[in-house]
């Protein structure tokens, strides 16, 4: 009986036919065509959310720096701050206070719009990818 089973099994063809493989590849291609644009949309949405959250953090730091500056020195009407300019400023002035409040690990191009001594809006842009930009206006 064992020999009969072995003989029958050795005559049986193994593997998939070409048509079966083409059908599987076509199904995978259709799934990829549906999923890839959705995934790109989710990635862009996530980048936008991160940029807006960073702009909100900048706003909080700028509002606190403006409150401190009220008692010490006037607030710049518009402050555009990069890591290099903040490093050059050290911890003095409005931009330096924002840098201190954000911490050394925060990176990106920061724009703070000020009207009088009130922060009106903030914008954060990733220095490596300018398409990642978020604005926060309370």
What is the maximum alpha-carbon separation in the chain?
99
Structurally, how many domains does the chain consist of? Answer: 1
Q: Is residue 5 part of a domain?
A: no
Give a yes or no: residue 131 inside a domain.
yes
Identify the pLDDT of residue 91.
53
Is position 125 within any domain? yes
Residues 103, 14: Cα–Cα separation, whole Å? 64
Mean pLDDT (10-residue bins), the chain, 138 residues: 54 79 95 91 88 86 75 54 45 69 76 76 82 85
The per-residue pLDDT for 29 is 95
- Half-sphere exposure at residue 39, Cβ-oriented, CA atoms within 13 angstroms: 6
3-state secondary structure (DSSP) of residue 113: strand
Distance (Å, rounded) from C-alpha 102 to C-alpha 84?
Answer: 15
Containing structural domain, residue 44: 16-136
Task: Evaluate whether residue 11 is within a structural domain.
Answer: no
Query: What is the model's pTM?
Result: 0.59
With beta carbons less than 8 A apart as the criterion, state whether 57 and 66 touch: no
């Amino acid at each position: 009986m064992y020999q009969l089973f072995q003989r029958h099994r050795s005559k049986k063809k193994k593997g998939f036919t070409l048509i079966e493989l083409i059908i599987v590849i076509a199904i995978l291609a259709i799934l990829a065509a549906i999923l890839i644009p959705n995934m790109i949309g989710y990635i862009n949405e996530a980048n936008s959310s991160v940029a807006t959250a960073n702009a909100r953090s900048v706003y909080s730091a700028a509002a606190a720096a403006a409150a401190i500056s009220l008692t010490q020195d006037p607030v710049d009407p518009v402050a555009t701050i990069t890591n290099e300019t903040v490093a050059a400023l050290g911890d003095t002035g409005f931009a330096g206070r924002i840098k201190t409040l954000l911490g050394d690990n925060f990176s990106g191009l920061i724009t703070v719009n000020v009207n009088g001594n009130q922060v009106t809006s903030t914008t954060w842009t990733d220095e490596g990818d300018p398409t990642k930009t978020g604005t926060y206006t309370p």
